[in-house]
Amino acid sequence: MNLNVGDKIRCLRHEKDITQEEFAAILGVSCQSVSRWENGICYPDIELLPDIAEFFEVTVDCLMGVNETVRKEKIAKYLEQFQEAVSQGRIDDCIAVARNGIAEYPNSYMLLNKLMYALFLAGDSDGNIPEWQENMKKYDSEITMIGERIMKYCPDQDIRLEAAGRLAFNHCEMGRREIGRAIFETLPSQKYCKETQIWWALDEEEKLPFIRGRIQEGYAAMCHGIYLLLDERLLPDEALLKVCRKLFALQGLVFDGKEPAEWGTVRNHCTMAALLARLKQYDSMYDELKTVVETARKFDMRSGQYSVSSVLLGEMKKERTDFETSDSRTLCEIVRDKWLAAEDFDAVRSTEEFDKMIQALS
């Protein structure tokens, strides 16, 4: 990419009618540094670019002389390649795509955020990445550096908050819980977020899609809370079984009695089957496992584009690449090789009926 930062700085400085000496004093650098920039001998340090852009009231990309239309098209292409890779659990490819994009557009916070995300996924113990523990240590400092940079300089609030949450999570994962907690505490509370406040400013045609989006977000939040309750086994098994049944009742309410063929649906049925196995309710367990097999197959065979609809949610159009994972296996393979390999099923593992389930997932 051909950078004309020096020429741009000279033009903007002349527009502001300030001298090189005055500009250097504002930035806290030497006058010789400004002169060298403007003569094309060297570039400003990358950490100075946001301050320079802010002073002249332009974007960093404008400062660097980037064609905005071309820039957006190329970044969109990198993001498309990234999404394709992450939907298939190809995390190394995600990292490579993001690094290539940043090499061309070093100040794209969208690409920096994607790189941070990919580096974090590379250390995900829930995927099928053999070196995930090594990756956690290897990428820790880079995740921290990118996260802090985004938090400090990114003008997009959504990207900034997403990066802050991920940075805090990474600190917790690496044993720095106090630092992570301190970052989490800076995030805005749900009570005062945009979604809870903006209703009164909406136009009439905006209200239905807005409220359906709120219902979808609320449902997702409830499902996540229930997942944590089940995954951490915070209640006795008998109580957790009731929780599972309430979860499926909630799903039926939201989706008009239809069960969506989603990854989470399969995971929830597996969790219920494991609970039934621990409680020795084997007939009910096998019923759940049949649902697991059928739904996992449907998920793996979903088309490139599909839709899910209900009276509460309306019609939600989805694409296969919307799904993000750190596991490159099919869902049937994950169920067979991981979830059904749990010790909860040891008591039935040698039975003919359980073996049929395993074979059906192959």
pLDDT in tens, 183-207: 999 999 988 888 899 999 999 999 9
Provide, rounded to the nearest whole percent, the portion of the chain with pLDDT above 90. Answer: 80
- The pLDDT score that the predictor gives to residue 3 is 60
Distance between CA atoms of 124 and 131, rounded to whole angstroms?
10
Half-sphere exposure of 131 (CA within 13 A, CB side): 9
Domains, the chain, with CATH or none: 5-63 (1.10.260.40), 86-187 (no CATH), 202-360 (no CATH)
Cβ(361)–Cβ(293) under 8 Å? Answer: yes
Distance between CA atoms of 234 and 230, rounded to whole angstroms?
7
- Section 39-56 average pLDDT: 87
Closest-CA residue to 8 (of 48, 51, 58, 46): 58
Cβ(59)–Cβ(48) under 8 Å? Answer: no
Q: How far apart are the first and last CA of the chain?
A: 49
The burial class, CB within 10 Å (0-12 / 13-18 / 19+), for 35 is: middle
Residue 268 pLDDT greater than 60, yes or no: yes
Predicted TM-score of the model (pTM) = 0.81
